[in-house]
Each structure stands twice: as structure tokens, then as C-alpha cells.
Amino acid sequence: MHRRRSDRPHGRLVPLPPWSRGTAGDTAAETSRHVAWVRLLMLVPLVPAGLQAGRSVAALPFGLLAAGYALWAGGRLLWVYRWPVTDARGAAAALVVDLTLITALAAVSGGRNSAVRYAYFMWPMATVLWQLPVVTAVFGIICVAGYTVMSVPGLPTHRADWTWSVMSDQTYLLWTVLASVVIAKLLSRRTRRIDDLLRSRELLLEDALQAESRERGDLADALHDGPVQTLTVAVQDLDEVPEPAGGNPLTRIRSELRTTIREIRGIIVDLHPEALSTKGLGPALKAMGQRCAQRGGFSVEYDIQSPAHLAHQELLYSVARELLTNVVKHARATEVSVYLRTECGETVLAVHDNGRGFTPAVAQQRLHEGHIGLASHCARVESAGGQWQVDSAPGGPTTVEVRLPS
């Protein structure tokens, strides 16, 4: 009996070995989180500066400003995890707030003699994470201006000495800004190259899937127009043979031929499912699950809630076919569940079984031995910008989850 699942398969999902993982770079949202952590960790070098300031009348102002910086850094970290910053304007505004607080902290704790001044050298390097050379250059210039403003309150009587000292620090600061701009430009160029390679990889994947689909369709048509028709005619001819006295020895032959015809038609459907193009991925998965359940002797539960037609549905169908075929061949399961949902701009496909499980590292070994079925599907998912995760162990259940952009 086939039942609908009310919940998706549970279990701790862990990545497959390194050979199966993609190489896509960090997203802008992840970058905003990294910068937020760098901002919060800036409190660590501020501690010695605070201890130095504690020996003078600057203790209270410095403490209040440091507390404000801590609240700002902690609040910003929570903010970007809840509402990630994905544009340069928001990031630049946050960095301006950082620089303003740093300038105030340096000004109240000794100006150019304060240990806080080293933050001006650190923040241009932090902006490299955004891989935007223009942003790094602009913010670097602002850092130089902020350092100059911070140094003015400590203007000594001997201005010549003050000027050379400030110019020396600013020279090092300008060098840091220039190096950060160069690094940001190189990283940006590398990221663009990786994006171009990924787009080319996706196009190659699409072409490969279309070629495979055409080949499967041609093979299905050949089986239907050739062996199936021949066997059908043979059965019809046998049906016309008069039954001999004392029983019909051809009954068993006719039964086996009809069974063979049904099996070949099932293979035809698996090779080129008509339901996938006419009704969508959900009905095609249910039909395939029913056929696999008959072959493997297990029951199937479904939790399928998705649009009729999805992006990458041929790839998802191919992955599900590979997973269910492996369950039939190896899992010795009695219960299998198939989960298909659209979540947060992603299509999630999960197959869970209560079979005997396996060690995920075995997949890499089987790849080296020439068994490329599961490995090739994993590579296709990664090439399409998706993720492939597995949770399994010998003697336990197995859950495989695939996520692809909708």
C-alpha cells in the first residue's frame, strides 16, 4: 500500500567525501557574515588599547565607546545572520560606522600614539573579502582621512616631527590599501573565472542530459517497435495454436512471453517516462516508485508537494531512479519514503530506506573501481549548482538528500 508521508525524512545529513563536493565560491551573504565576525574579533586587539587608556583620564570615554563598539559589532553579527547583506551599499555603510567608532576610540586614547591606530591598517584588508576593488580603494582612502583626523588632537609643539611621523604611518597605510586593492582585484578576477567555468559546466551538463534523454528515447522506441512487437506477435500466434489433447504444453511459454513483454515495457517506461513530460516529476516519481517496489518487495510512502514542472526535473528523475534502483539491488529494505518539496528557492529530493545501509566512503572506492552510477549523478548535481548529502552507516537506515536551485 502506498501512503503519503506527513513529514520529511529525518536524520543528520553529512556531506559525501571531497570528490563529490562542488567548488562554488562564497556567496555575498556568507561574505557579510565573515566580515561581521572580523568586526567582532576587532575587540581582541582593542583590549590592550583599553588597558593603556585606563591609566589616564581617557578611561571612561574609551570604556563607553568600546562598549558601544561591542554592542554594534554583536548586533551587526546577529543582523547579518537574520537578514544577510548582499549589496555593496549596505556593507559600505557598516564599514563607515566601524571607522567612525575606531576614530573616536583612537582620539580619546592618545591619538596617533594610541594602539587603536593599527585598526586603520586592518580594516582595508577586511574589505578584501567583498572582492570589490573599488570599494576597497574608497574605504582605504577614508581610512587615511580618518587617521589624519584622529591625529590632529595630538598635534605637538614640534610640528615637523609630528608631520614626518604621521606621513610615515600614512605611507605604510597607503601601501596596505594598495596591496588590499590588488588582492581584491585578483580575487575578483579569479571568482569571475570560476563563475565562467561553472556556467560552462552547467551548459555541458544540460547538453549531456539532453543527449542522454534522446538516446534513452531512441532506445525505448527501438525496444517498443522491435522486441516488444515481435514477442507480442509470437504470443498471438501461440494463442491460435489448437490445444492438443491431454493438456497444452505451450501455456507456460505464453505466460513467460507475456511476463517478458511486461518487463520490457517497464524498462521502456524507465528509460523514457512519458509521465515526466506530460504530468510532471511528482507523478513520474510515484510511477517509478511503484515499479521499484514491485521488484524490490518493499512499500513506498510519498510526500510530494511541488509544481507540476520543475527546473532540472530530468536530472532529479534520473537521480531518484538511481537511488531507488540501488535500494532494489542492495538495501534489502522493507520501507522506503520519497520526499519532494520546493523550499526557499530550492527543490529538495530525499529518498529514505530502512535497509542495511553502507559506509559513504565506499562510494569513492566504487568510483575508483569503475562503478560510476552514483558518483556520476553526484557530479551532475554539483555541476548544476546543487548539493548532495547522505546519512548512512552499515546496518542502519539510509537517507540521501539532493538540493537543486528551482
Q: DSSP for 132-169?
A: -HHHHHHHHHHHHHHHHHHHGGG--S-HHHHHHHHHHH
Residue 156's pLDDT is what? 53
Which residues does the chain have with pLDDT short of 50? 1-26
Return the H-helix or E-strand segment holding 103: helix 88-108
Q: How far apart are CA 383 and CA 16, in angstroms?
A: 15
CA-wise closest residue to 314 among 244, 215, 393: 215
Cell digits of residue 239: 494463442
Q: Phi then psi for 4, rounded to 5 degrees? A: -90, 140
Dist CA 86 CA 92 (whole Å): 11
pLDDT of residue 366: 60
pLDDT at 215: 72
Alpha-carbon gap, residue 128 to 141, rounded angstroms: 14
Q: What distance in Å separates the CA atoms of residue 340 and residue 348, rounded to the nearest whole number?
A: 6
Say whether 311 sits in a helix, a strand or coil: coil
Q: How far apart are CA 287 and CA 293, in angstroms?
A: 10
| Strand 398-405, strand 346-353: pairing | antiparallel
Residues 6+ apart with CB under 8 A from 125: 176, 180
DSSP H or E segment with residue 400: strand 398-405
pTM of the model: 0.54
Which amino acid type is present at position 289?
A: G
Element (DSSP H or E) covering residue 390: strand 387-391
Q: What is the CA radius of gyration of the chain?
A: 33
Q: Which three cell numbers stand for residue 25?
A: 565560491
- The four Cα atoms 97, 103, 105, 107 give a dihedral, to 10 degrees, of -150
User: DSSP for 315-352?
Assistant: HHHHHHHHHHHHIIIII--SEEEEEEEEETTEEEEEEE
Q: How high is the pLDDT of residue 245?
A: 61
Query: CA dist 98 to 106, 108, 167, 243, Å?
Result: 12, 16, 23, 96
* Separation of alpha carbons 210 and 208, rounded Å: 5
Q: How far apart are the first and last CA of the chain?
A: 31
pLDDT at 374: 73
Q: 304 pairs with which residues across the strands? A: 340
